[in-house]
């Protein structure tokens, strides 16, 4: 049974420390950090520093490390933020979850890993060791966005010269240590990150703009006739007004509206 570490406080007022004690999830989340930090270190040591071009190294190093930092910050927020857990117990009457005993509100679904009902549960993601739901959807969306962008930057930075070098039969000779191994490692990390990030980002944007979490899509639920436009739904997740806070993993949007209940079709 996973354990969480909530601190007392009224929902929406006091911040709660949230961590799911799932061995597989912790291993996957730690692996994500190891891959990103490892790629940043290998890129710096074997590609940028040996290049001997300060401007080239500074520009690409700063861009990649900025994207990696934002991705990891969003990852940490997605992992350590309450995804929208429904308190156990609650007022008597109404539908109750047979598994955790909470008074289940509309659009909440039970997660077997978290052991709780989660509002607007999208899915349980082992890579962030947490559910993706009402409380952390923005952070997960940014994690996938920055993962895709950082991986794309790495693919273009290394993939194009590598293909040219391979065509000439000349692998990059500027690296000081095992150039082929480091290049293959970086390209594999970039390819995996780009495929994962872009696919998950597209899926999340579809869910956000349609105001239907993937759990709701899979179970044949759809928003009622009172659902907003795509723009309204996007603002409900990212924040009321477009600003830099939309792309900041450190900004937490305020609750925007009470959404229309879903109905089964």
Could you list the active site residues? 125
Question: In this structure, what token pair is assigned to residue 149?
Answer: 């962008």
Which residue ranges make up the site for Zn ion (CB under 5 A)? 97, 99-100, 110-111, 113-114, 117, 124, 131
Question: In this structure, what token pair is assigned to residue 231?
Answer: 């723009």
Q: To the nearest whole angstrom, how small is the minimum distance from the Cβ of residue 129 to Zn ion?
A: 9
d(CA 116, CA 128): 17
Residue closer to Zn ion (CB basis): 46 or 85:
85
131-141: b (≥16 Cβ within 10 Å) or e: bbbbbbbbbbb
Q: To the nearest whole angstrom, how small is the minimum distance from the Cβ of residue 115 to Zn ion?
A: 8
Beta carbons within 8 Å of 24's beta carbon, 6+ residues apart: 126
CA distances from 23 to 16, 112, 173, 186, 240 (A): 21, 14, 41, 27, 37
Residue closer to Zn ion (CB basis): 103 or 157:
103
Residue closer to Zn ion (CB basis): 114 or 190:
114
Residue closer to Zn ion (CB basis): 136 or 151:
136
Question: In this structure, what token pair is assigned to residue 45?
Answer: 């040591």
């Amino acid at each position: 049974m996973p354990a969480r570490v909530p601190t007392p406080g009224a929902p929406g007022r006091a911040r709660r420390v949230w961590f799911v004690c799932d061995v597989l999830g912790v291993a996957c989340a730690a692996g994500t950090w190891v891959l990103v930090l490892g790629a940043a270190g290998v890129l710096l040591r074997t590609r940028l520093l040996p290049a001997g071009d300060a401007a080239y190294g500074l520009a690409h190093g700063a861009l990649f490390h900025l994207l990696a930092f934002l991705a990891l910050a969003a990852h940490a927020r997605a992992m350590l933020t309450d995804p929208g857990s429904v308190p156990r117990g609650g007022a008597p009457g109404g539908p109750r979850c047979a598994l955790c005993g909470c008074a289940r509100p509309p659009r909440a679904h039970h997660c077997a890993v978290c052991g709780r009902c989660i509002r607007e549960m999208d899915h349980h993601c082992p890579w962030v060791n947490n559910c993706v739901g009402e409380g952390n959807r923005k952070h997960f969306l940014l994690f996938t966005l920055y993962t895709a962008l950082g991986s794309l930057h790495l693919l273009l930075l290394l993939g194009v010269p590598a293909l040219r070098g391979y065509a000439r039969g000349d692998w990059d000779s500027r690296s000081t240590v095992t150039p082929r191994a480091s290049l293959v490692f970086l390209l594999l990390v970039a390819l995996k990150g780009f495929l994962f990030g872009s696919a998950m980002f597209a899926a999340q944007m579809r869910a956000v703009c349609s105001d239907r979490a993937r759990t709701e899509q899979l179970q044949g639920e759809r928003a009622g006739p009172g659902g907003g436009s795509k723009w309204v739904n996007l603002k409900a997740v990212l924040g009321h007004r477009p600003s830099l806070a939309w792309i900041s993993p450190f900004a937490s949007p305020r609750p925007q509206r009470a959404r229309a209940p879903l109905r089964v079709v």
